[in-house]
């Protein structure tokens, strides 16, 4: 199916472990984004990518790593998970036009 998918949808991990959240889009959109959503903070941008092999930091990048070797994939890695990274993570994509399209989200719990 066309669209933007995220996996896993739910993840529980322990402090210090590495975790990778996957994002895949079928539209060949040039821009892709990772946000985290926390109560009281709304959506905060972690990283974004303007094209394959081009990534840049957003508002809250510390503790996260991204890569974009293919246009359709934009994985987000937590190198050493901390409790403060417990959140709901959303991937989004867009063409050069301005509308963003969001994935269904990954709920991550760090114990």
Residue 84 beta carbon to another protein: minimum distance, rounded to whole angstroms: 19
User: Which tokens is 35 given?
Assistant: 């946000």
- Identity of the residue, 43 or 65, whose beta carbon is nearer to another protein in the bound complex: 43
**Near another protein by CB under 8 A: residue from 13, 31, 61, 109:** 31
DSSP-derived secondary structure letter, 27: S
**Near another protein by CB under 8 A: residue from 21, 34, 48, 85:** 48
Q: What phi, psi does 79 have (nearest 5°)?
A: -70, -40
Reduce the secondary structure of 46-86 to three states and give it as a string.
EEEEEECCEEEECCCCCCEEECCCCCCECCEEECCCCHHHC
User: Which tokens is 54 given?
Assistant: 């081009």
**Near another protein by CB under 8 A: residue from 22, 45, 52, 65:** 45
Residue 101 touches another protein, criterion: CB under 8 A: yes
Cα–Cα–Cα angle for 73, 74, 76, nearest 5°?
140
Residue 22 touches another protein, criterion: CB under 8 A: no
Residue 2 touches another protein, criterion: CB under 8 A: no
**Residues of the shown chain interacting with another protein in the complex, contacts defined by CB under 8 A:** 31, 33, 40-43, 45, 48, 50, 56, 90, 92, 98-105
């Amino acid at each position: 199916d066309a669209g933007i998918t995220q996996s896993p949808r739910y993840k529980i991990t322990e402090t210090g472990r590495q975790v990778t959240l996957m994002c895949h889009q079928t539209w060949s959109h040039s821009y892709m984004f990772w946000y985290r959503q926390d109560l009281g903070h709304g959506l905060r941008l972690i990283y974004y990518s303007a094209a394959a092999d081009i990534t840049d930091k957003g508002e809250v990048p510390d503790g996260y790593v991204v890569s974009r070797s293919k246009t359709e994939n934009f994985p987000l890695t937590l190198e050493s998970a901390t409790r403060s990274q417990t959140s709901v993570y959303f991937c989004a994509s867009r063409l050069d036009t301005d509308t963003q399209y969001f994935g269904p989200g990954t709920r991550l719990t760090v114990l």
